[in-house]
Amino acid sequence: GENVEQHPSTLSVQEGDSAVIKCTYSDSASNYFPWYKQELGKRPQLIIDIRSNVGEKKDQRIAVTLNKTAKHFSLHITETQPEDSAVYFCAASKGSTLGRLYFGRGTQLTVWP
Amino acid sequence: ETGVTQTPRHLVMGMTNKKSLKCEQHLGHNAMYWYKQSAKKPLELMFVYSLEERVENNSVPSRFSPECPNSSHLFLHLHTLQPEDSALYLCASSPNSGTPNTEAFFGQGTRLTVV
């Protein structure tokens, strides 16, 4: 099956700095890579996703990059704000019509004001 | 709100109890999932239902028994659980046929504590 590794497990940054979270996956058939944000006591919510036919995608302060050859993808948050503090999960899914997602362990991001 | 509702939000049960978790979605999706979220572990996919038929069971112990009576409702029946089963149980749904690799919408979860 798919194995998704996520690093770091915790990340602390000063407000305004950038944050980068990295994930690797094992199955080259995976072709959909969403990122979920889970605030304390709340449900995971999709913040951005990328498909394997694209190398980079950006949405305001959030961007995701994908390197299919190396089988890794990263989340980049610029100009971080305290409300960005949450647990971020990367996931991978392969060639299916169902949303079977294989998640990483999560990164606790803390943005200090 | 994402349209996926789970009840109860919190549940404390003894190891000899029988209880059920409920999930309901009004998004018109026809695939539903149970995930388990334990501290310091990845979200673990437990069961997948597509068009009310179970299509995946990821080696989940038989003390967890899912039920999907229709495409809008999903249950997780619990009996003789162990303390290590304490976790946040998340339900999710997504579109199915004809739409590959789409977003999964999560419920808020049921925080289960087994004593």
pLDDT in tens, B31-45: 899 999 998 777 888
Proportion of chain B above pLDDT 70, given as a percent: 92
Q: Is it the case that residue A100 has pLDDT exceeding 80?
A: no
Res B20: pLDDT: 97
List, in sequence order, every beta strand (DSSP E) within chain B.
Answer: 4-7, 10-13, 18-25, 31-37, 44-50, 53-57, 64-70, 73-79, 87-94, 105-106, 110-114
Residue A64 predicted with pLDDT over 70: yes
Average pLDDT, chain B: 88
**Which residues on A lie below 8 Å from B56 (Cβ)?**
100
SS3 A84: helix
Tell if the CB–CB gap between A97 and B100 is shorter than 8 Å.
Answer: yes
Residue A61 has pLDDT above 60, yes or no: yes
Higher pLDDT, B42 or B70: B70
Average pLDDT rounded to a whole number, residues B82-100 = 83
Mean pLDDT along residues B55-83: 91
User: Chain A closest CA to B70's CA: distance in Å?
Assistant: 17
Task: Note whether A99 contacts B90, CB cutoff 8 Å.
Answer: no
Contact between B31 and A99 using a beta-carbon 8 Å cutoff: yes
Residue B7 has pLDDT above 80, yes or no: yes
- What single-letter DSSP state applies at residue B74? E
Residue among B100, B39, B35, B41 at smallest CA distance from B64: B35
Residue A73: pLDDT above 90?
Answer: yes
pLDDT in tens, A40-50: 888 999 999 99
- The mean per-residue pLDDT over the stretch A36-41 comes to 92
Which of chain A's residues have a Cβ under 8 Å away from the Cβ of B96?
A: 97-98
The kind and range of the H/E element at A91 are strand A86-94
Name the pLDDT band for A52 (thresholds 50, 70, 90): confident
Amino acid at the residue B62:
S
Is A43–B106 a contact, with Cβ atoms under 8 angstroms apart? yes
- pLDDT band at B97; cut points 50, 70, 90: very low
Q: Is the pLDDT of residue B92 over 60?
A: yes
Query: Which chain A residues are closer than 8 Å to B108 by Cβ?
Result: 42-43
Given a cut of 70, is residue A97 above it in pLDDT?
no
pLDDT at site B104: 84
